[in-house]
Amino acid sequence: MTSGFDGSAADPLGRMMLYSETYRQMTRRLMVAAADLCGGRRIMTHEGGYSAAYVPYCGLAVLEELSGIKTPIDDPFLTEFAGYPGQELRPWQKEAIDKAAELLDGLR
């Protein structure tokens, strides 16, 4: 699993509207896939993210999910970023996700 935070809403380059809970959910899904496909084994690397103010919250969400430990630290940007408009899936995006889910189901 590679964890790059340049897709976060605060990243000056990527700005893909992801936020800490998005990274938490992606980590959870990758952990489920690892459990199903390779006995839960996983390797983590960090490869990017250029918002010094926001990367720590995204990274913390990943580490909390991996460890199963919730810290008392809250993401102060979460409400704002999660509320950005335009986050609904487009039909072509839903189609791609559904196809990927079908392929994953075929591997099980």
Percentage of the chain exceeding pLDDT 70: 97
Average pLDDT over every residue of 24-33: 94
Q: Pick from 48, 63, 67: which is nearest to 5 by CA? A: 48
Largest CA distance in the chain: 41
Average pLDDT over every residue of 25-41: 93
pTM of the model: 0.82
pLDDT digits (tens, 9 = 90+) for 57-78: 999 999 999 999 999 999 999 9
Burial class (CB in 10 A: 0-12, 13-18, 19+), 52: exposed
CB 47 within 8 Å of CB 2 = yes
* 5 has a pLDDT exceeding 70: yes
Q: Return the domain boundaries, the chain.
A: 2-107
* 54 has a pLDDT exceeding 80: yes
Average pLDDT over every residue of 89-107: 90
* 108 has a pLDDT exceeding 70: no
